[in-house]
Amino acid sequence: MWKKVEKGIYQEGLYSFRVRMMVNGHKLDKTLDSLAEARVFRDSHKLSQALDVHESAVIESRIKKQSIKGLTVGDALDRYLLEITPHKKGADTEEWRIGKAKRMQLAKKPFHGVTADDVIAFMGEIGGSENNQRKYVSLISHLYRVAIRQWRLPVTNPVTGQMDLPDNGVARTRRLKKGEYYKLMKALIGEPKQFVIIAVETAMRQSEIFSLRWENINKKKCTALLTDTKNGESRTTILSRVAMNALDAVGWEDEGEVWSINKGQIRRAWEAARDDIGAHDLHFHDLRHEGASRLFEKGLNVFEVQSITGHKTLSELRKYTHLTPSSILAKLNK
């Protein structure tokens, strides 16, 4: 239901503004994303009745720039969170990251006037590793790309071509130390314990493990169809005997989600167990490194490991593989 908000402009929903008016005897009807844009469209077409095409374009540009002066980076992030974030694989993580970004000084600045120096100051306020800062800067850069390409706002990206992105940082090489796996097994119980076992046995990402459904697991062939992977492509992975036993411990069903616990429960159980055994620097994602490395140490070749882990390239797989000297020595002495 369209509701009139002012002369010639009607609203339906949060981001739907309709301009209906007559221009030189012709009916004009256009829907835009914001009241400011609707005003620009209406006012510029009013002016166009008395001006030539070039003068109208100049006037429209000026009015549009005026209309976004009240828009802050925080406002733009709110719209981005509503329209863009939900369609991403890592929506939950990005939502949390946007929440943090909105607490920084950058969020209070006018969206049209942000400079590279402002973004550099933002990096310092975010803190953490260079890799962490890079993720936040990439978010801001993409925010401006969306604003320019999709929202058609007259702004300039303060990141692209204006500054160097922080370094990705040194790739993690952390694997489970001697005895840590067994200590984790003692510290964990229930589904979190089986979740960790499957992570180590399959080198699957946490999101992929969560996406497991009983109807997609072939008990006879020991395979699992993953329909929600990072790259958006489905793949079938192979489950070891130990992984199958872990699923047995959860309790087989004909269909439905494998896990009754959520991400928050897994995170809390993992962090508690990790801290209990004194492995404070161990990240859950390190288990993917551990799993990939173990597959090679079992004697599988590159193509066999790739079929299980889902890495698209050898260079990516190499980042996740950290063989121990003892395992290499054992093969040399066979």
Show which residues are catalytic. 205, 230, 285, 288, 311, 320
3-state secondary structure of 151: coil
Alpha carbons 259 and 213: distance in angstroms, whole number? 8
Phi and psi at residue 263, to the nearest 5°: -65, -40
Residues 69/112, Cβ–Cβ less than 8 Å: yes
Residues in the chain: 334
- Eight-state DSSP code of residue 6: E
Residues 24/49, Cβ–Cβ less than 8 Å: yes
CA atoms within 13 A on the CB side of 3: 6
Burial of 136 from C-beta contacts in 10 A (0-12 / 13-18 / 19+): buried
User: Angle at CA 98, nearest 5°, toward 95 and 85?
Assistant: 45
Direct distance between the N- and C-terminal alpha carbons of the chain, in angstroms, rounded to an integer = 77
Alpha carbons 254 and 330: distance in angstroms, whole number? 43
